[in-house]
Each structure stands twice: as structure tokens, then as C-alpha cells.
Amino acid sequence: MKKYNVIFILVDGCRVDRIHKTPIFEQLQSQGTFFSQMISYAPYKLASMNSIFTGMYGTKNGVDAYYKMFKLNESSKTIAEYLSENGWYTQGDAMRLSLVSDRGFDKITEHDEKTTNYEVVHCDMLDEIVEKSNGNPFFAYLHYPKIHTSIVEAVFSKYDDFSDEYFAKKNQNLNDYDSYLSTAGHYLETIFEKIRSLNLEKDSIIIVMADHGMGVGEKKGERAYGVYTYDYSIKSFSIFLQPAIFPKGKKISDLTRTIDVMPTILDILEISHDQNYQQMQGMTLLPLLDGKIKKSFFSKKSSQERFAFSETGGLYGPWPSPNEPNVKCIRTNKWKLIHNTTPNTWEFYNLENDPGENNNIYDENSKTVKELQKKLEQIQNE
């Protein structure tokens, strides 16, 4: 298999249900394969990024809470480590170095999210990577945080999790969010112009995705993210671009998880699981491409049904729990079961009929509830 470059562009807090407002996302979807039902492990970047870069949930890799930022266990191998050991030059810009492990990176940086012009910094970074890789394949991790930055400045600094003023103006909050997303669109336009100018498209797998979504006042008790596991904050997406592998203009609505991204990359590059480390929980996405690639090199589990597991323990909200997750959910395409462990309450939603998760139909005797409770317990014990 060809040793493609891997360009990983992370748009922090990007809501999949709003990207249609920004033309560059529509353009990218037409040029690649769009996974529209991708669920994040956690609705905040620390745990979500570690799960993406290890292909496993925080229950297994050790980073399952806000205050466990440096707890990534030694038995979890990162995407940067896999690629570095197989000849890739690896460089990233992580917004904050506490967000992801530096293991496997030849160079990883951070910048002040409030003052940095990421268009300039990341274009310069791509120039540097091309030079330093010296003709070898490379892994570039570009983290764009400005949606998050804007939310912190406009919302977190002015309102608390129960401010009536904030939750009463959801439509205005959504308009404000769209303006932040538009700025992210300009960033992506600039980055892709740079990628084209460096003639990287042909020899690269490019992934554009979100770490998690973002609330705008849908549920009292959560201003934006990190408190609950409703879809507005745990739904992500990804767009994979490499025409030799990913069909242009294809939309895949099957349930997928952000933990599936890493095994997909390794599958394409034919890099086997290192038996000295824990097995990833993610599964390659390649079998979902309708035979574009006939085999799955990496995971024999790839054809199994995917369940998405998410959890959080908020810094704020009704049940703050930054040391241990206390809101857990299991999701299929149709159903979602949530367990709020501190008050020991359950929520159950039919997402097809109730995408806003407003009508709790939990019945402890329901057959589907019992099946999902069993699966929820099973995943946490893997």
C-alpha cells in the first residue's frame, strides 16, 4: 500500500448540523466521503482527543475525566507512535500541550488561542513539515480552536449554567455560533489553498473532523459542552479526502465513532496492531465504502454493529464531577440510553422521532432498555 501523508485537521466544537451554513464544508463533502453520524466519546476536547488518537474510550486509555489530563496509560499506543515507528515524520499543533500526549511526535507545539492567527501559523507549519519530512511521508495534526475560543469569551465569561438570560435567547446564540463557524470556514479555505499549492492532495489522506459538538442553550444546566451527553454536544462528523480510496460526494449515515478514525488510517496504511499494547476499540470504516476497498487489513470486527459510548463529568452544571465521569450514554442510530449516575436517573430517547431528546420514554422494563443497559455495562468493562 502507498505510504500516504496524513493531514488531520481538527475543527474544535464544530456542529455537524450547522456546517451546511458554510460553503467550504459543502465543497469538501463533494470532494470526499462524509461520515455524518459520527459520535464522540466525550463532549469536551481533553477526553475526546485522547480517544481519537488511541482508538479507544477513556475507560480503557485512562483519560476519562477533566482532571485526568496526564493519565494516558502506557498500554495505549497513539496514532503518532504507530506512524513514527513506521517511517512517518510527525508534527502537530495541539492548542494546548495538555490536550494530547506528545508520544510519537517529532515536534508538537501550542499557541495562545486568543491571539494566534491559525491560518498563518498552520500554513507556515505545513511548509515546515514538507521541508523536515525530506520526501518521507508525514503526519500533520492541525487543531483549529477558534469556535471554542469565541464561546468561552462570549458565553462562559458572562453567564453561568443556569442563567435565564442565556437560555432564553437560543436563536441568537445559534446565530452567534454560525458566525464563529463562518470564521472556521475561512480558515479551512486558506489551509486547503496551501495544501493545493504544495501539491499534497494526490499523496495525502486528509481528514477534516470535529472533536465534539457544541450547545447553544438547548438544555438548562449546560451552556455549551462538557456537562451532558445530548447529541448537540457528542455528535461529530468526519470528511475523508483521498480519491483513490474515498468516493467523492459519498455520504455515509451509518453510526460511526470518532474512535474509528485511527484504525481506519492504520487499515489504509496496512500497519498492524502492536501486540505489546491494548487492542483498539474502534473499527475501520473501510467496509462501509461499498467495496471501494475489497478487504479490511486491520480489523476483523469491522462488520459488527457499532454502538457508540459517550460519557462526561462536568466542571459545572447540576452534578459537577471533574474527577470521575458521572453521565454515561449508549447510542445506536435509533436509540439512546443515558444514565445520570449521581442522581441515579435514566433517560431513553427514540432519536428518529425525537432528535432533540425532549421526550424521555424510559421504562425500566423495556426490552430495548435492558439490552442497552447490558451493552453499556459491557463497554465500560472492556
Q: Give me the average pLDDT of each 10-residue run along the chain (382 residues).
A: 95 98 97 98 98 98 95 97 98 94 97 96 99 98 98 95 96 98 98 99 98 97 98 98 97 96 97 96 92 45 73 96 97 97 98 97 93 96 90
Which pLDDT score is estimated for 295?
43
Query: CA angle, 171 as apex, 167 and 175 as ends, to 5°?
Result: 120
Which pLDDT score is estimated for 305?
66
> Mutual orientation of helices 45-54 and 261-268 as an angle, nearest 10°?
30
**Percentage, residues of the chain above pLDDT 90:** 92
Which pLDDT score is estimated for 303?
47
Which pLDDT score is estimated for 358?
97
76 sits in the region (left: phi over 0; alpha: psi -120 to 50; else beta) called beta
How far, in Å, CA of 15 to CA of 78, rounded?
A: 26
Which pLDDT score is estimated for 298?
46
* HSE (side-chain half, CA atoms, 13 Å) at 169: 11
What domains can be seen in the chain, in order of their start residue?
A: 5-289 (3.40.720.10), 308-380 (3.30.1120.10)
- Nearest alpha-carbon partner for 136 in 84, 202, 87: 87
Which pLDDT score is estimated for 302?
45
Which pLDDT score is estimated for 29?
98
117 is written with which cell numbers?
Answer: 492567527
Residue with cell 474510550: 57
How far, in Å, CA of 240 to CA of 208, rounded?
A: 7
Contacts for 252 with CB less than 8 Å, ≥ 6 apart: 33, 34, 35, 36, 37, 285, 288, 289
Q: Which helix (H) or strand (E) holds 90?
A: strand 89-93
Contacts for 82 with CB less than 8 Å, ≥ 6 apart: 104, 266, 271, 274
DSSP at 167:
H
Contacts for 325 with CB less than 8 Å, ≥ 6 apart: 58, 64, 65, 311, 312, 313
46 is written with which cell numbers?
Answer: 481533553
Residues in the chain: 382
Do 264 and 280 meet the contact criterion of CB atoms below 8 Å apart? no
